[in-house]
Amino acid sequence: MVELSTEIAGLSIDSPLIAAAGTAGYGTELASVDCLRGLGAVMTKSITLEPRGGNPPMRVVDLEAGMLNAVGLANVGLDAFVTDVAMHVRDLPIPAIPSIAGESINEYEQVAAAMQAMAFVKAVEVNVSCPNTDDGRAFSESPEQLRTLLVDLRRVFKRVGMIVKLPLDFAHPSVAAEVAIESGADALTLINTVPAMSIDVKSRKSRLGRWSGGASGPGIHPLAVRMVADVYRDIAGPAGVPIIGLGGVMRWQDAAEFILAGASAVGLGTALFVDPRRPRKILRGLQKWVRGQGCQSIEELVGAIEPC
Ligand SMILES: Cc1cc2nc3c(=O)[nH]c(=O)nc-3n(C[C@H](O)[C@H](O)[C@H](O)COP(=O)(O)O)c2cc1C
């Protein structure tokens, strides 16, 4: 047997596959139908200070190459998470990584402090794709605001690993990834959904209940691979900061691409909607691939892409 375990932000996980934020609820639903097998950890949907009902329907539509969503960070809010949900998340058979979000630094701080106070939480993913109430721009869009947010959260997370989740960045090298690492990120998750739109040509309306949303699935996979490869080669690799590659993984080959590009772990989102049992199939494929490459552990293949 080859070794597929890995470490992300101080958290040791038995499988490099992680359920992506917002695509596995709080992990409890997948656990109840025995669909956590093959996964090393599960990210919860992003938790905000106040409960959020989310956007009006349609929130999810299918695309030729994946799906488009505008869920709007629907979640129970911090208080209900702590009192009603956290104990179930704590008892999952694999580690859960809460994802947090907010519209102001103060909101993020309060949610982060509550996570820090729960002993079972070893790492938190910070979703920085939320628009700041002050200027409507996502935190990840402004390097200054991103730095202020993350430096603040770094102070809050004393014993908790800070994973920063970034959207696709066309800049090279990624400014946001540099800022995240300089601000003390223990790991990066790359990438979030890609801003996108789909129009019903009969009604001439957006197919979502709002103007636009975020695309996920196979169509975004090569964009995510490029970003992981660039960030690993230029910033995260030299700094020793692990990456969770995320975006469009449907088959073991997609996961293997992320590993070669420099990811230490691989997220699965849209794939779980298609087939919640996909992780165990992907894991089996990875096992064979690692062995076929003549390696004892998947770690040997992280960033092992050959130069052109
Ligand atoms: C329905 C849906 C809900 C999502 N909710 C969240 C969320 O709450 N927080 C977050 O950081 N990302 C969220 N995402 C983004 C995913 O975690 C992931 O970054 C994205 O879907 C790309 O991965 P995939 O192509 O494997 O789906 C959501 C994605 C989908 C499809």
Predicted confidence (pLDDT) per residue in 6-47, tens digit: 999 999 999 999 999 999 999 999 999 989 999 999 999 999
- pLDDT at position 262 over 90: yes
- The whole-angstrom separation of Cα 180 and Cα 174 is 10
Residue ranges lining ligand 1, Cβ < 6 Å = 20-23, 45-46, 60, 67, 69, 71, 73, 99, 127, 165, 192-193, 216-217, 220, 246-249, 268-271
* Helix/strand/coil (H/E/C) assignment for every residue in 130-191: CECCCCCCEHHHCHHHHHHHHHHHHHHCCCCEEEEEECCCCCCCCHHHHHHHHCCCCEEEEC
Q: Whose CA is nearest to atom 3 of ligand 1?
A: 22
Catalytic residues: 130
Distance of CA 7 from the midpoint of ligand 1 (Å): 22
Residue-range domains of the chain with CATH:
6-56+71-197+214-301 (3.20.20.70)
Residue (of 282, 276, 294, 287) closest to 34 by Cα position: 276
The predicted model scores a pTM of: 0.98
Residues with Cβ < 8 Å from 84, sequence gap 6 or more?
Answer: 76
- pLDDT at position 199 over 90: yes
Residue (of 88, 90, 81) closest to 119 by Cα position: 90
Between helix 175-182 and helix 143-156 the angle, nearest 10°, is 30
Token duo for residue 111: 């949610």
Predicted confidence (pLDDT) per residue in 217-247, tens digit: 999 999 999 999 999 999 999 999 999 999 9
- The whole-angstrom separation of Cα 268 and Cα 127 is 16
Query: pLDDT band at 132, cuts 50/70/90?
Result: confident
- pLDDT at position 130 over 90: no
- Mean pLDDT on 67-95: 97
Query: Looking at residue 133, what is its pLDDT?
Result: 80
Per DSSP (E only), the strands in 220-278 are 243-246, 265-268
Query: Looking at residue 131, what is its pLDDT?
Result: 81
* Phi-psi category of residue 180: left, alpha or beta, with phi > 0 → left and psi -120 to 50 → alpha: alpha
Token duo for residue 94: 């694999």
- The whole-angstrom separation of Cα 40 and Cα 234 is 27
Distance of CA 67 from the midpoint of ligand 1 (Å): 10
Distance of CA 9 from the midpoint of ligand 1 (Å): 20
- pLDDT at position 162 over 90: yes
Token duo for residue 192: 């979030």
Q: Whose CA is nearest to atom 12 of ligand 1?
A: 21
Distance of CA 279 from the midpoint of ligand 1 (Å): 16
Residue (of 200, 131, 127) closest to 165 by Cα position: 127
